[in-house]
């Protein structure tokens, strides 16, 4: 029993460090490792709702829909009003009405298609001036977002028009120029937490005026750390 207690004894700082590691591995699409890290947290705190939601998300991305569904239902037993669990259960229901895993390949392929790296056409960036944590908590990796152009700024909203954050000024000015001349872009959630919203911007169409001019000078590299990606604006 003593050895079991030692195995499960994690300090609050340990749990926070593991949570950060879980988020980073998810950002890198390393869902197997993300699942292992969240399971480690749950060995110490089996009712940790954030870890449960992350584990369910990892299982979902690995095509294990039935496991994800069970975990989201456990979250709702602990927190009946949890927005993330409610939203994802609804998505699972729409994707696969019988609740069984029969679309593993399709789900994995659709997700991987979103985050394909294309030199000069993709950019990973942390948004600024974020919305409240309660709004960010409704987001999931892979959610499509909307880009809204202002005179000197670009804001990002969800599909319901709810404000989420803004692009850094230099990137915003660059994209305003490109979009005003015909370029089109898509924006997706890469990673969301109460304090960070990391999005992937993809060039969907390049105007003939910019045929030899890439949208982004320093390209998104999926192997870079978050700090390096922030420096590549």
**148-202 pLDDT tens trace:** 988 889 999 987 788 999 999 999 999 999 999 999 999 999 888 888 999 999 9
Q: Enumerate the domain spans of the chain.
A: 2-111, 118-231
Rounded to an integer, what distance in angstroms lies between the CA atom of residue 213 and that of residue 229?
21
Note the pLDDT tens digit of each residue in 66-92: 999 999 999 999 988 777 788 788 878
Say which CATH architecture domain 118-231 belongs to.
Answer: 2-Layer Sandwich (3.30)
Rounded to an integer, what distance in angstroms lies between the CA atom of residue 37 and that of residue 60?
16
Task: Evaluate if residue 112 carries a pLDDT over 50.
Answer: yes
Domain 2-111 CATH class label: mainly alpha
Highest mean pLDDT of the ranges 1-10, 122-131, 156-165: 122-131
- Asked if 88 contacts 49 with a C-beta cutoff of 8 angstroms, the reply is no
Note the pLDDT tens digit of each residue in 207-225: 998 988 999 976 444 434 3
State residue 218's pLDDT score: 60
Let me know the angle formed at the C-alpha of 165 by 180 and 111, rounded to the nearest 5 degrees. Answer: 85
- Give pTM, 2 decimals: 0.51
State residue 139's pLDDT score: 84
- Asked if 18 contacts 41 with a C-beta cutoff of 8 angstroms, the reply is yes
Share of the chain above pLDDT 90, in %: 35
**Beta strand residue intervals within the chain, DSSP E:** 122-126, 144-149, 154-157, 163-166, 184-192, 197-205
Q: Tell me whether the CATH fold assigned to 2-111 matches the one assigned to 118-231.
A: no
Closest CA to 79 of 50, 99, 38, 42: 50
Residue 183: phi and psi, rounded to 5, are -65, 150
């Amino acid at each position: 029993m003593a050895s079991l207690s030692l195995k499960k004894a994690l300090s609050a700082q340990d749990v926070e460090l593991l949570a950060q590691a879980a988020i980073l591995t998810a950002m890198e699409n390393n869902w197997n490792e993300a699942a292992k890290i969240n399971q480690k947290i749950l060995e110490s705190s089996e009712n940790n709702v954030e870890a449960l939601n992350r584990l369910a998300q990892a299982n979902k991305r690995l095509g294990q829909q039935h496991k994800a569904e069970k975990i989201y239902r456990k979250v709702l037993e602990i927190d009946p009003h949890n927005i993330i669990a409610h939203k994802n259960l609804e998505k699972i229901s729409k994707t696969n009405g019988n609740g069984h895993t029969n679309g593993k390949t399709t789900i994995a392929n659709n997700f991987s298609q979103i985050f394909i790296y294309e030199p000069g056409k993709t950019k990973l960036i942390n948004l600024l001036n974020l919305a409240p944590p309660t709004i960010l908590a409704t987001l999931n990796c892979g959610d499509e977002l909307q880009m809204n152009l202002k005179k000197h700024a670009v804001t990002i909203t969800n599909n319901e028009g709810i404000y989420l954050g803004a692009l850094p000024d230099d990137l915003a000015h660059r994209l305003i120029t490109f979009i005003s001349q015909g370029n089109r872009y898509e924006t997706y959630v890469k990673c969301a937490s109460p304090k960070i919203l990391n999005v992937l911007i993809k060039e969907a169409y390049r105007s003939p005026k910019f045929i030899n001019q890439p949208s982004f000078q320093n390209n998104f590299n999926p192997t870079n750390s978050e700090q390096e990606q922030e420096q590549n604006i």
